[in-house]
Amino acid sequence: MGKAWLRDRRRDGYYRMAKRLNYRSRASFKIFQIDDRYRIFRPGGLVVDLGASPGGWSQAAAERVAPNGLVVAVDTATMAPLERVTVLRGDVRSEETRRDILGALAGRHPNVVLSDMSPNLAGNASLDQSRSAELAQSALDVARSLLRSRGHLVVKIFQGEDFPEFLRQVRADFRFTKAHSPKASRSASSEIYIVAKGYRGPPGDDSEESASEE
């Protein structure tokens, strides 16, 4: 991505660039930027993508875990199939969806949990923020129950009064934590991504098992 990329960015923005490069959404560039900076994905990795529709992050993650990796994508909304992606439909907060995720993982622990989940916006900043914090919390719960030891979490949250407590929890569970505002986010937005690396806990072990292994 050189001069043409910069020219595109100025003239067309991320939305047009996503269309031209056949990405499902402009959000693909956010996760590419995060991965370029923090090294989240690795070839052969296993990724759980929460709030995945229409699939921009899943598509980007599937590209970076190729050829033997797998992405498990979850959303309440429908999502068209993608190569190297298992698509599940359901609410991440429900037990049933969590069981479906376990089923799709077939006993393996993911290296990465992603969450770009957003609430339906009510237009009331405080309410939107607390709903976003609830979704971020459920992503952290999923990460705690599934992630392999030393695995990574990237989670979106709207900044607001619940943010410091959420960040404190993530800091307690991961060796490295950074609050990141990707360039590909709309500038007026209060969304922020917490990039957390090196999960401290069980249940996963820290062997370098890949998604292609049984």
Residues marked active site are found at 156
Under 8 Å between Cβ of 169 and 196: no
Shortest distance, position 205 Cβ to ligand SAM, whole Å: 28
Under 8 Å between Cβ of 11 and 100: no
Closest CB to ligand SAM among residues 54, 198: 54
Tokens describing residue 192: 């922020």
Under 8 Å between Cβ of 168 and 133: no
Closest CB to ligand SAM among residues 13, 202: 13
- State which amino acid sits at residue 2: G
CA-CA-CA-CA torsion for 31, 115, 69, 146, nearest 10 degrees? 150
- Which residue spans within 22-166 are E strands per DSSP? 46-50, 70-75, 85-89, 112-115, 152-158
Shortest distance, position 3 Cβ to ligand SAM, whole Å: 26
Under 8 Å between Cβ of 35 and 41: yes
Q: Which residues bind ligand SAM (CB under 6 A)?
A: 24-25, 27, 51-57, 74-77, 91-93, 116-118, 135
Closest CB to ligand SAM among residues 158, 163: 158
Phi first, then psi, for residue 157 (nearest 5°) are -150, 145
Give SS3 for 118.
coil
Shortest distance, position 109 Cβ to ligand SAM, whole Å: 21
Shortest distance, position 135 Cβ to ligand SAM, whole Å: 5
Give me the residue label for tokens 């459920």. 138
Shortest distance, position 53 Cβ to ligand SAM, whole Å: 4
